[in-house]
Structure 1
Amino acid sequence: MSEPTSAGPVDLLLRRAQVAGTEGLTDLAVSGGVLVDPPADGLARETFDLEGRLVTPPLVEPHIHLDAVLTVGQPRPNVSGSLFEGIAVWADRVKDLTVDDVLARTREVLRWQLANGVQHVRTHVDVCDPELTALRAMVQLRQEARGVVDLQIVAFPQLGILGYDGGKDLMRRAVELGADVVGGIPHYEMTREDGVASVEFAFALAEEHGLRVDIHCDETDDEHSRFVEVMVAETLRRGMSGRVTASHTTAMGSYGAAYAYRLVSNIARAGLHMVVNPLDNSVLQGRFDTGPVRRGLTRVKQLQEAGVNVAIGHDSVMDPWYPLGYADPVQAAMVLVHVGHMSGDEELRRLLSMVTTAPAAALGLEGYGIRVGGPADLVVHDAPTEADALRLVPRRLLVLRDGKVVARTRPAETTIAWKGEESTVDFLRPQL
């Protein structure tokens, strides 16, 4: 049943919106911070004519390392561009962390994310620091940003739980200080046995405190790295279906077909969420290959065909692992089009859901989505279709949170002189 509009003019009316996943244009009305039926009389305190532009729910970032953003080149560059040199560089940078340092860098990137339409973020925070400096900063920022950009904090042991001295105690302290999610990095532990034990510890800690699990798993080209199967088993044994995310899992691209088929089936059975990070992993993986060079991706299509929820993460913004990026999940989705062979018509439509509804499910967000009676949280893309949003990666025209405009872009106008006549160019396919 539709919600009635409030008496008098609505607060905001968005005319001629193309809501993602629907046919035809529609009007969206906002009153009291929620979406309501458009008023029959069209009266509104403020009106925008979207002229057929695409509207999606807020973008959701399921995997980023906010504590490391904007540290590229500090204390030295990652010369090889490899994952492991990046870890070594970051281990040195951690020694100079202060709460103010982390807050200053992270606040700036949160501003970028909001401008890009991101309103929910899961950030992995390195807890291999006896002072837990970055974690304490992130707990402070979570409170500060709540209601604008909502944060989930993952206790992430960058140097391992068993492989780092006091790692278990630091994970416990991180949870006590307010981490929302328990992380891990089993492929970085010293032995296969330690890796298995680290996964078991992470699940036990999460179960004890009623938290979710999100583990950096099998982020390597080594086909013998097989910790996702351990996550599947722990999820089933502990009844944690829907509360567990496996991030990266790039080794799946190197598994044999028979093993991969069985593993994907078990991932679906366990209800794991998967996060693929095309920006970082397309440049970090395959560094030991001389040709053909692997793409550094998990089996996105195979997982989705099995009914597994797969979300796209940005992972890094100008840090020791990835020197580029501006915190836009749509850019990450555009890269997955190419490295994931996802240029089919249906696949292009699906990709934007991988930065909206898919990560929302992984984070366990409630009340998410565009519907009458729901929160007026949405993003207006300066493009008419999902494919155009991916092709152009345009700035977001409007971002609404609780019915209020929290980000706005005034698009540039491009003109050309063609045989003595000036005309505009918008890079959209003309209606011929």
Structure 2
Amino acid sequence: MTFDLVIRNAALPDGRTGLDIAVRAGKIAEIAPALGPGAQEIDAGGQLVTPPFVDAHFHIDATLSLGTDGHYNESGTLAEGIALWRRISPGLTAENYRARALRYCDMAVSKGVLAIRSHVDITSPDLLAAEVIAEVRREVSPYLDLQLVAFPQMGFHSRPDMADSVRRVLDMGFEVVGGIPHLEPTAELGRSSITALCEIAAERGAMVDMHCDENDDPNSRMIETLVYETKRLGLQGRVTGSHLTSMHSMDNFYANRLIGMMADAGLHVMANPPANLHLQARFDSYPKRRGLARVPELRAAGCVVGFAQDSVLDPWYPLGHGDLLDVAWIAAHACHMTDRAGLRACFDAVTRDPAHIMGLDGGDLTPGAPADLVLLDAADPIDAIRTRATRTHVIRRGKVICETAPPAPRLSLDGRPTTPARH
């Protein structure tokens, strides 16, 4: 029987080579050498075929808004970013939200990103951003999984009826309850916001993803309360702590105890190396802290850790273009994960691991999984990170939705080859 699509002579992330990947009815049917014919065939030529890239921490409502009304974050601080968003967001229209979100989705898909978890600001009582992004999700669903987080950007206690807004956006189909406890007016209110939001998630069967301790203060320990509520409410495996940058400043004894507690509660972690390297330690002189979660230690304890873009061209981050191989490359340096095992883990942290955090099928290449695949101009995951390899084909449910030719530089140097070596 003819397959719908066969990718010939592929290398897989686990090191296997010379394999064909056959697709039927939008799913991977077989992975083996020398499979039968396909209605469409792609010769991978020994190149790497992987599951798609997954960005499990993003802000699609704010993306591409940098410079709105001529405003920029000149200090590079988180506080100025929040102040800028508070200033510009009331003037954003439904069409503005929609156009920017769709432009970013196109950009992300071209980089092989086929799933995004986006936090959406629900501070405004009209919930305009939530309504628009919910519609965007329906528009992009044929080619991109967009999972949405009800995120009270300015704090759960910024409005007395915020719990009602959280429930309303869950009714719109949002799957995740978010929060930002370290931004609440007091530590006590921060902890109470975690309790209230986790109780809503337990009541609705939703997942939880909290911006937690995104600062340089070693005494910012909201993650303790998130761990406690995860266990108290039976939310193990459904809760993510995002950022956790204060962990970089904690003493080693306490950090070790905390990491053990997190692993015991089945807590996931999303680190955002580019954005947090940019935002954190802005008040340091020298030495300057990196301001990241303790990624190798968290992984060693058994927590699932993903890396994410967080922001692109918005009040918090002036760079980025949706390329998670850039994120993995930066993380490898910032987290001292440049040994071979560490680099391989960095690749998993932008593919398989965030897919697990989002509860998606298809984080691994196995028969029966959705045929969401990316062909990269690289021999293996480490080579892909090193070169930030071109995504030559992006495939969604067995259909090629993006093709990109690798760059082909041509040298004109006396006595030298016309094409530079890849390595």
| SS of residue matched to 1:259 | helix
Number of the residue aligned with 2:300: 305
User: Which sections of structure 2, spanning at least 5 residues, go unmatched?
Assistant: none
Of 340, 353, 364, the match for 1:345 = 340
Match among 12, 37, 47 for residue 19 of structure 1: 12
Alignment of 1:144-159 (within 5 A): 144-159=139-154
Q: Which amino acid aligns with 1:389?
A: A
Given candidates 259, 263, 267, the residue that maps to 2:258 is 263
Alignment correspondent of 1:314: 309
Question: Which string of whole-angstrom CA distances, capped at 9 and with x for unpartnered residues, describes residues 169-216 of structure 1?
Answer: 332332233321100000000101000000001101111111000000
Q: In structure 2, what residue type is equivalent to 1:201? A: A
- Rounded Cα–Cα distance in structure 2 between residues aligned with 1:15 and 1:251: 47
Q: Verify: 1:162 aligned to 2:194, yes or no.
A: no
**Equivalents in 1 of 2:187, 2:196: separation in Å?**
14
Shift of 1:358: 0.6
Query: Which residue does the alignment assign to 2:276?
Result: 281
Q: Indicate yes or no: 2:297 matched with 1:295.
A: no
Q: Give the distance between the partners of 2:35 and 2:371, measured in 1 at CA.
A: 21
Q: What secondary structure does 2:38 align onto?
A: coil
Task: Give, as a single letter, the amino acid of the residue that structure 2 aligns with 1:10.
Answer: F
Give SS of 2:357's match: helix
Ranges in structure 1 where 5+ consecutive residues have no aligned partner: 1-6
Classify 1:41/1:192 alpha carbon distance in 2 versus 1 (closer, same or farther; 3 Å).
closer
Count of residue correspondences: 421
Q: Structure 2 vs 1, CA of residues 339 and 173 (structure 1 numbering), >3 Å: closer, same or farther?
A: same
Aligned position for 2:25: 32
Alpha-carbon contact 2:76-2:316 (below 8 Å) kept: yes
Tell me the distance in 2 between the aligned counterparts of 1:200 and 1:26.
49
| CA–CA distance in structure 2, aligned partners of residues 260 and 40 of structure 1 | 51
How far 1:36 sits from its partner (Å)? 2.5
TM-score, L = length of structure 2: 0.96
> Which deviations, in whole Å up to 9, do the C-alpha atoms of 1:290-341 show, x marking residues without a partner?
1111111000011011011000111001000001100111111110011111
CA drift at 1:164? 4.0
Offset at 1:375?
2.1
User: For the structure 1 residues 88 and 41, does the alpha-carbon distance in structure 2 shift closer, same or farther, using more than 3 Å as the test?
Assistant: closer
> Which residue identity lines up with residue 45 of structure 1 in the other structure?
A
The answer on 1:238 being equivalent to 2:239 is no
- In structure 1, which of residues 325, 334, 343 is the aligned counterpart of residue 329 of structure 2? 334
- Between the aligned partners of 1:177 and 1:23, the Cα distance in structure 2 is 43
In the TM superposition, residue 165 of structure 1 has moved relative to its aligned partner by 5.2
Q: Is the 8 A contact 2:20 2:34 kept in 1?
A: no
8 Å Cα contact 1:370/1:377 also seen in 2? no
Q: What displacement does 1:243 show?
A: 0.3
Tell me how far apart the structure 1 counterparts of residues 237 and 36 of structure 2 sit (CA, whole Å).
Answer: 42
Choose the corresponding residue for 1:392, options 387, 396, 399: 387
1:173-188 equivalence runs, <5 A: 173-188=168-183
Distance (Å, rounded) in 1 between the aligned partners of 2:213 and 2:264: 19
In the superposition, the TM-score normalised over structure 1's length comes to: 0.94
2:43 matched residue in structure 1: 49
Aligned mates of 2:368, 2:200 — CA distance in 1: 37
Summarize deviations over 1:73-130 as a string: whole Å, max 9, x none.
1231111111000000001111112211111000010001111111111000001112
Counterpart residue identity of residue 214, structure 1:
D
Measured after TM superposition, the shift of residue 372 of structure 1 is 2.1
From 49, 60, 70, the equivalent of 2:64 is 70
Displacement of 1:394? 2.3
Cα distance in structure 2, aligned partners of 1:260 and 1:142: 38
Instruction: Report the equivalent of 2:187.
Output: 192
Distance in 2, matches of 1:416 and 1:367, equals 41
- What secondary structure sits across from 1:292 in the alignment? coil
Structure 1 Cα separation of the partners of residues 35 and 289 of structure 2: 58
- In structure 1, the partner of 2:137 is 142
Query: Does residue 201 in structure 1 map to residue 224 in structure 2?
Result: no
Tell me the amino acid that sits aligned with residue 171 of structure 1.
Answer: V
Following the alignment from structure 2 to structure 1, what is the Cα–Cα distance between the partners of residues 28 and 55? Answer: 23
